[in-house]
Structure formats: structure tokens, C-alpha cells
Structure 1
């Protein structure tokens, strides 16, 4: 049981999954690569080669073992002693071809394990013509001897063809850059395809101006940006913006991920960095885009998230040297993206390397509306669907979350054999993204339904009675994911600043469910566990980060930097003593107790409304915010009215 407020993601870890979809088009048009794919039959060449080698080596032995007419050696010796043999031909392997007086020929093999010194005397005694031959000089023998070497050379040649090189390039290709190259005439993404983020596009647009008209900067004596790094939470469209820069500038775009540089062999990553910049110089003016640069750009000589090793540090050193070494007039700009800016080495961020750091934040309400419109294009929306209202109900969502929301709504419509997406589909999709799948078979026991209804009624009524709390949009006791019930609040406007009064109301709403249980049943339950955890995190930040404690005063112990990956501030590096930690714990407990007492007082003075709303939830399972207001308005009416 929980009360759901998406904006709480700004204070506590996000409750909805994040992805890597882009805030632009629902499906970006595929970018053609710079090389034609090899024919499908070429993948079977090595199989055919191995089979041919086995047939070449094993076939003669099998044929020799099954050759008919081979005479036993003892019969051959008997015929020599009987004077029936006129001539023999013996090779260095002991194979004997004998010609008889009758004109017939006979094949045999001299046993090499036996001492056959007397055979020559027997042949001479019977005046048999002896001819010796050598099998090592034949073309077949030479091919058999050199076939393994030829096979290895052919394998290297094939590997070289796969990486675009010539003979023996397979080994050299191990250290080549794995960048995906998109030529100038083919990029299709433009800034118009990126919904919202006007400020980011304006700031990064100077890169496009430089690549289009570098003489303009040279005439003014201005140096163009050497590198631009984009930081922000996952799914906000950093990669899409980089592609849009390449599309607007109409220059080659070399895209590579940070993990593609790192291998198990030390030095390979540095070699790939050199090859990447050499390729960019050949195609200049061009853009190099390194996604997830934190994979190679972590702090050197320190234990950072993801660990460190010699290969990564050598790769970073080479990247720093290359960014220092290329001529600014060559028309090369390096773009990079990361979700973990706090892990990057300071040398990477100094002026002259990455001159500019552009933050790509989570989209605001207007940007979410534009992003939803992009992802909803090509889909059939019901006339009553208001994307602005959907955007208002999804604060804290990234572009990837919004794409997932629209897709889940479409899937929900398909389940009902419809092609039109309705408001109910979008609401169900939002619950699916935030809470998890709703299991209709997870039926609650009658006493549990009553307990959940009282709990959610407490959340809803406290939210309606608090001055600064967001209005209640929906209350339900249908289980979804790990929650048994949900009270959803819809903010009237997207806040960027939160007052102390708002945060105190937030704590009271969080603890309203537990207060209702204590008031009605006289005891709490495990259903308030998630509420207590969320309220504790908010209260901790009020005391530790925001200076909203009279006991500690205006002191903040917030973390130095924000980790975009998890948005989790639950375990920052401790910068205070154990005594201060004890004071923080006491102040957090005081705030939570005060919020619980406040919620109890509000519900105690509106006990009739609590009972009415709980009974309505047991009967209907889901009600909207108007039902909460009506329960408060009718609380003084007699029961059953």
C-alpha cells in the first residue's frame, strides 16, 4: 500500500524503470553503414575449407585401406623366390609395385617394423629389376606438407577481408577502431526530430555552426569548441542529439561506445583510439561521438565505480593525448555522453579537451507533451485523449519512459481487440510503468480489503485536507506489482522549488495510511512499510541536505555530485561525526512523529468521511478524486444518506 506521487523521484530513488529510448521519433530511421554487408554464402566458406582439408588428409588413407587387390607381403616374397617377378618399383614409404612374368601387376607393402635387409639379396639373386622412387617430390606431397600453412594464411586473409583490410590485416584489425561510420550524405536526423530541449539544442548548435562555416570563427579570432560532453539521466536522448548534430552539420559521424575500446590485452584500447582519430582526420570535417565515455574516462589512480585497470588508464591517456594533439582547424569535434559525470577524470574535463559540458535533464511538462506527440504519431488516439494532461501526470519521466508508456497503452488496446488508444489505456499503462503488472487473480481476503481501503482512505483524506499537498486524482485498492493499493496525486503545476510547508504536508500524507490504521483498528500493519521508507528518506534530506532542522541549524551535508544512474542519495559519503549522525537521526524521528500526530489529528476530526470513503472503496475498488471531496462534504450527513 502506498501513495504514488511521481515527482517524489526528485527526493527518493525513482520508482519507475529507466531505459535508453530517445525523446525523438518513436523509431529512428535506420542509418545505412559505410560498407556493403558480405554475401550470405561467405559465412560458409570456413566450413567448406575445413571439410576439404579433412577430405584431403584422411581420404587417401581411407582409400589406401580399402584398395582391393593388395597382396600380402608373404605372398610377394614367395613369388620372388619362385622366380615369377621380373621387376619391382619401391618408394621411400615401402610401397611395392611388382610386374610378374605373366604381365600382371601386384601391389604390396614392405613391413617397416621388420628387418628386410635380405629382400634386396633375394631380388638380385632372381635377377629382378629394381627401381626406387621418392614420394616427397610429388606435387601432392608438397601440397600436403604446406597445406596447414596455406590454411593459416587463408584464415588471416579472410579475417582481413572481414575488417576491410588486405592480406594479414586480420591481426591488425584487432587493434582497429570499432566505430560505426555514417557518411555525410546519409544522416537523416535533424534538430526538428528532437522534441523539446530547445536550450540544449541552442547551446550545442554552435558546434554545427563551426563545422558548417569554420572561417567565420577564424575571422573573429574565436576558437571553436574542441569537445562537448553531454551528461544527464538515462533515456533523455543524448545519443539522438549527437546524431542530430551530425545531421545538421552534414558531416561524417563516427559513433563508438566507451566499452568498445577496452579489451583483455593492454594496449589494444589505445591503438583503437589512435585509429579512430586517424579515420576522423581522413574524413574531416567530421564528428566523433563516444557514448558512455565513463567506461574509459574514470578517475586514474582511484577506486571508482566500475573498477580500474592498466588497459583502461592507457586508453584514457591516449584519448587525452589525441584531443590535445589534433589541429583545431582540421574540423574535428568530439562529442561524448555519460550518465555518471562524477566518475570522470578531471583531466578529461579541463578546457582544451572537453571545453563544454551540456546537461540534458529530464524533460519538463511542455517537453513531455511534445515527446508524447512524437511517440503517438502513427497511432490512433481517442478524441478525449489529452496529451498535455498525460504529460502533467508523468513528472520525472524520461523520453524512454514516455515511449514505453505509449507502447504499453497500445499493447493494452490490443488486448481488448481495439486499435484506438483511450484514456483508460494510458492510465493503465502509467500504472504498469510505475507499479508493475496488475494481477487480477491476486484477490485480497475480506479483512485485507477493509484494511487496504482504510489505509488508502487515510492517504487520500490527509492529502485533501493539507493546504500544500497535490490534489488526489485516483484511489484504488486493486493490487498491482508489490503494492496492494495506490493513492495517486496529480500536481497542478511542475514545481522546481519546494517549501518547508510542502515537505511537511508530504510527510503527513505519506503517514496518513498508517494513521488511519491506528485510528480505526488500534494497531498498524506491514502495509505501511513502503510509506515509512519514503517518508524517512524525505525527512532525512530535510534535515541533512536542506537545513530545515532547528536542532542542526543551517548546515547541509549533501553529496558533492549527483549520480544520474540511480538517483539514489540514501548512502552518501559521510562528512560528519557520529554525534552529528545521532542528532540527524533524532531530528528525522521527530519530524516523522510530528507528521504522524498531525495525520491522526486530521483523520480523527473527519472520522465519518474516513468511514464513508473506506466503505465506498470496498464496494467500488477504484474511485476518483471527486469521491474524496464528496466524502468530506457529506461527512456530517446521517449514515446511508
Structure 2
């Protein structure tokens, strides 16, 4: 393209310009003949041999003097016929030069534009090895440790890292070496990333944030190049903090897959080399977060790389109370809202779940036409999150409604009469989501250990709905499917993992690695077929015992079961205090041990 432009420009310079009007091109011989015939008025001879002039009829002409020709007769011919002769100066106008250079300029400009566009397209390939970390240097997140409720131990661990970066001399004088890496593990939504943002807000050092998936590309070697660029940038900004979210995307155990991933392995190897090659004086600390610690490579977890592992579990009741207070700040709460009660009713909720609960409660308040969030809004939000949307158009048939009332009444009475059962907070037969009714229990205190008595009572409570249907209605229904599945799973864990089977003995076949994403780790069965048969028999025995205990309890309190069923049919929702009143005791009073049959029989 550039060559074409040069050729066009040269051609424009070589082609003689034409004068305005009619111009005739004459050969040299024809010109001499016209001069001899007296048809030429004037000629102008240029230094390059170009000849131009005017004929007697007013027409202009151009011609050229042949190069190398010596013709003295031409000058004599001009003199004999009185032709006016002038000479053309060797000059070229600026406008003609610019006009002749215009094609070249256009072609060169087009060439440069195409080249720049190509470089932009190739910049992805040229810069594909660059780190995609987001640097918080002069403008850091406004999140601080005050915004992270609870988790004092985790905050203390991370605070020491920040303090080491701010005041390294204090630790150096004591001979202490700062940690090179901190790994935060825990279930999703517990605030690992929030804690990292708080570190960025508290630390007076640059904070480089990147996700593990940003290292993974389709091109082999790109991930390793990005790791090198990330740590090179961190060293230039030292002291600094590198935060890698979801590190399991690149840190998975090597050699544990049927199909190897060379790109991921190279990226992990580069990560190991960079962390192991740290000089403590550089002041670079890596903070990583994951909810899958069981899949990480052991070389990544050894001391010298991730020196500390900070576990951020699901918040306890006291911490849930503090988290609810943080998320409720600035929101108008009614006088009947007790965040302590809400915290009791949300065991297993993460920080993200609690934030969603407060937001849903505010939405319910707006839907009701109020600007103040009341306790009923939190109750509705709890039902919405745990049970699903309540559809009023999906009304139960009269027989179905009675069956659900009997079922939930059985759950509630067995729970209220169990020695180790949690207090009943609410019983409802309003359908929501996939649940046709719910019996809600609120633990008084947060449990960290569950005894065998508590687990057996839990089995009996789960069986209470099905047993109540059998006693009152004479048959069971499909409404107990979820109860049976939950009871079977709990009984299986009691036998296989908790060693609560006298026949099988004190053995445990559970996974030693925590699984924060739910479900069981897929693994081969570590026991024989005969052991599996014993496990199945022990599970069936536990479930039959739970069914017999629930049957004995509800048979002895058949009158109370009928009263609770009628009250549910009348009001649709009954609170725990009313259940205690039906049982003839003061609300909150411990369950009478004699009311529950604790004997264990075997078939």
C-alpha cells in the first residue's frame, strides 16, 4: 500500500501540468512544421526541455525537446518566423507540491491507522501476561475493622499482619519474622472478603486485590506470567499486601485429577516460587481466601508460604446479634424488635444471610405501607428466606389442612416434651415454598457440642409428625418425606461418623477435611460390605426407637394433641407460649423428664 502511494506521487511529479483552457499536445516534428507554416505565435522553453506556447488560433500547446538532440535549426526557425520566445524559470509552486504529495500523505496516514488498530488488537496478547490486580494505593476502601462485627480472634490475627507492615522494626528487634501469608477459610458469606477490605482500610500500605480466576486463561504460560507481574508490582510498592480471593481456582492439589491441567500447574508452581522466594525485608504479605481448603495443594499450605490459617466460621449467637446491629444501623426499628431474639432464630446464618434478612424485613415493612421495621417483618423475612414465597392462591383442601395441622402438632408436642429438645417458638400451617407447615424451635444457648441424648431427641421430633398422622388419621402421608430423609441422614452420621452405635463400636468413617460448601466429599467407601450391612441395621434401629418414643409421647398426650390441632385450624399460627399453656405448664419451664419414654428396645 505504501509503495502504491509512492508510485502515484512520483507520477504526479513527472506528468507535466496543463494550463487552463484547451491545450494540445504536439510532437517535436509537428511543432517544427507548425512553426514553418506560421501557425505558432509564442513559445516558452523550460530548463528541463518542456516547451509550451500558443498557436495563432489561440489554442495552447505543449511539447518537449528531445533529450540529447542538438538542433541549431530550431532556434533559426523560431527567428525566421518571428515567434516570440521566452524561457520558463525552474520553479514549482507550493500548492502544486502539496497537491502532488497528497496521495502519499493519505496512503501513509491510512497505513499508520491500520498499524495502530492492529497494535490495539494485539495489545490483549501483548499484555495478556500482565497482572489484573486492582491496586488500592492512594484511594483505599472505606471499610474498617469497626464494620466487621464479631470475629475478634480473626481480626486479631490479621491486625498483627497489618501492624508488622506498619512497624517492622518492633518485630525485628525481638527477632520475630512477619508472616508471609495468611489463608482465611470458612463457609461462603462469612465475611472473608469483607475482612480483607477492612485490612485495606486499616493498613497504611498499598493493597493489591485480585481473584484466582483472573490467572486462568486459554493460553499456556499466561497464568505464570501474571503471577510474576503481580508479585513484581507488589515488590515495587513494598511494603504492600496482596489479596487473592478464591485461591482454590489456581491452588488445587496437583496430581489429583485424571486429566492434568498444565496451565494451572504452571501457575501454581510460579505462585509457590514467588512466595518461597520472598525476602522478609521486602514487606510483602499475601492474604488469600477460600471456602474449599480441602482441595488446596499441601505445598501451598506449608509454613513459609501461608504461615497462618484463620478460620472464619458461621457466626455464633452473640456474633449474629452484633452483625444484625451493624446491618440495622440507620434503619428505623420498632420498639417490639429484639435483635437478640432474631439472633436466636437464625442459627446457621452467615453474615451475608443476616444482611439479606434485614433487607427483606425492610422490604416487608415497605410492602405493608410502613416506614418502621417491626418484629412481624423479621418473622415474615425469616419465612421467606428459609421456606420460600408464601402463595395465598395455593390454598389447602380442608382434609389437607387438617392433616398438616395434625402433623405439625405432633412435631411441636414431641419437641416441647423432649428433655433435650430446643424450645418451640412457633407452629404454623401456612404453606410457604415447598413446606406446607413449619414448627420452629429456638435454642436458648448456642451449642458447640451435641450429645447423644440431644440427637436422639432430634430423631424423635422428626418422627413426631408422621406418628401423629398415624395416631389421629389412621394413616401416614407424603408430607413426612422430608422428615424421614433428614432423620435417616442424622442417624447415618450418628452411626458412621459419631461412633454412637454399641454394635459397630467406637469407629468413625467421616471425612477429616472440612467441607464448607455442603454435601459430602466424593470418596471411595473405606469399609467392607459387611460393615455397610451393620450400619444399615443400626440406622434402622435408631429410627425405629425414635418412632416408638414419639408414639409413646403422643399417645400419652393425645388430648393435648387434639387441642393443638384445633387451635392451629382456627388461628393457623400458634406461638410457643400457647403450646406450653396447652401442656399446662409455665412458658419456658423445662420439660418433664417422665413425660418421655427414654427406654431403648431392639428388634
TM-score range, shorter chain: 0.7 to 0.9
RMSD (Å) for aligned C-alpha atoms: 2.5
Deviation per CA, 1:154-200, whole angstroms, max 9, x where unpaired?
Answer: 225657xxxxxxxx855432211111111156342222221111011
Contact conserved, 1:157 with 1:170, CA < 8 A, in 2?
Answer: no
1:548 aligns with 2:500: yes
Distance in 2 of aligned mates of 1:322 and 1:297: 14
Number of the residue aligned with 1:215: 169
Number of the residue aligned with 1:359: 311
Of 356, 366, 387, 1:414 maps to 366
Number of the residue aligned with 1:385: 337
Q: Which structure: larger Rg? A: 2
Q: Secondary structure at the match of 1:335?
A: strand
Distance in 2 of aligned mates of 1:325 and 1:493: 48
Number of the residue aligned with 2:387: 435
Deviation at residue 229 of structure 1 after TM alignment: 0.5
Of 198, 204, 212, 1:244 maps to 198
Deviation at residue 449 of structure 1 after TM alignment: 0.2
Contact conserved, 1:156 with 1:171, CA < 8 A, in 2?
Answer: no
Deviation per CA, 1:96-120, whole angstroms, max 9, x where unpaired?
Answer: xxxx999799xxxxxxxxxxxxxxx
Runs of 4+ in 1 over 6 A off after TM superposition: 100-105
Deviation per CA, 1:404-431, whole angstroms, max 9, x where unpaired?
Answer: 0000000001111111000000011011
Distance in 1 of aligned mates of 2:532 and 2:170: 57
For residues 529 and 138 of structure 1, do their structure 2 counterparts lie closer, same or farther at Cα, with a shift above 3 Å needed? farther
Of 423, 430, 446, 1:494 maps to 446
Distance in 1 of aligned mates of 2:394 and 2:524: 41
Contact conserved, 1:362 with 1:396, CA < 8 A, in 2?
Answer: yes
Deviation at residue 87 of structure 1 after TM alignment: 3.5
Alignment gaps of 5+ in structure 2 = 6-21, 27-54, 62-98, 586-603
Contact conserved, 1:547 with 1:554, CA < 8 A, in 2?
Answer: yes
Distance in 1 of aligned mates of 2:160 and 2:584: 58
Q: Secondary structure at the match of 2:266?
A: helix
Number of the residue aligned with 2:272: 320
Comparing 476-485 with 139-148, greater Cα deviation is found at 139-148
For residues 141 and 438 of structure 1, do their structure 2 counterparts lie closer, same or farther at Cα, with a shift above 3 Å needed? same
Distance in 2 of aligned mates of 1:315 and 1:544: 39
Distance in 1 of aligned mates of 2:112 and 2:130: 25
Number of the residue aligned with 1:516: 468
Number of the residue aligned with 1:76: none
Q: Secondary structure at the match of 2:511?
A: coil
Number of the residue aligned with 2:296: 344
For residues 445 and 470 of structure 1, do their structure 2 counterparts lie closer, same or farther at Cα, with a shift above 3 Å needed? same
Contact conserved, 1:233 with 1:362, CA < 8 A, in 2?
Answer: yes
Contact conserved, 2:24 with 2:60, CA < 8 A, in 1?
Answer: no
Distance in 1 of aligned mates of 2:286 and 2:309: 12
User: How many residue pairs were aligned?
Assistant: 502
1:612 aligns with 2:563: yes
1:621 aligns with 2:572: yes
For residues 102 and 415 of structure 1, do their structure 2 counterparts lie closer, same or farther at Cα, with a shift above 3 Å needed? farther
Q: TM-score, normalised by structure 2?
A: 0.79
Q: Secondary structure at the match of 1:388?
A: helix
Q: TM-score, normalised by structure 1?
A: 0.75
For residues 589 and 238 of structure 1, do their structure 2 counterparts lie closer, same or farther at Cα, with a shift above 3 Å needed? same
Distance in 2 of aligned mates of 1:411 and 1:169: 47
1:483 aligns with 2:435: yes
Number of the residue aligned with 1:174: 128
1:600 aligns with 2:562: no
Distance in 1 of aligned mates of 2:557 and 2:490: 26
Of 242, 258, 280, 1:288 maps to 242
Deviation at residue 139 of structure 1 after TM alignment: 4.2
Distance in 2 of aligned mates of 1:148 and 1:531: 74
Distance in 2 of aligned mates of 1:439 and 1:140: 75
Number of the residue aligned with 2:284: 332
Deviation at residue 153 of structure 1 after TM alignment: 2.8
Distance in 2 of aligned mates of 1:447 and 1:147: 84
Number of the residue aligned with 2:355: 403
Contact conserved, 2:515 with 2:521, CA < 8 A, in 1?
Answer: no
1:310 aligns with 2:277: no
Alignment gaps of 5+ in structure 1 = 1-56, 58-83, 89-99, 106-136, 160-167, 635-641
Deviation at residue 217 of structure 1 after TM alignment: 1.6
Number of the residue aligned with 2:149: 195
Distance in 2 of aligned mates of 1:460 and 1:621: 14
Deviation at residue 147 of structure 1 after TM alignment: 5.6
Comparing 473-482 with 201-210, greater Cα deviation is found at 201-210
Distance in 2 of aligned mates of 1:445 and 1:571: 42
Contact conserved, 2:408 with 2:437, CA < 8 A, in 1?
Answer: yes
For residues 170 and 482 of structure 1, do their structure 2 counterparts lie closer, same or farther at Cα, with a shift above 3 Å needed? closer
Distance in 2 of aligned mates of 1:170 and 1:444: 60
Deviation at residue 152 of structure 1 after TM alignment: 3.5
Distance in 2 of aligned mates of 1:384 and 1:529: 37
Contact conserved, 1:187 with 1:250, CA < 8 A, in 2?
Answer: no
Q: Secondary structure at the match of 1:473?
A: strand
Of 99, 107, 113, 1:151 maps to 113
Contact conserved, 2:405 with 2:569, CA < 8 A, in 1?
Answer: yes
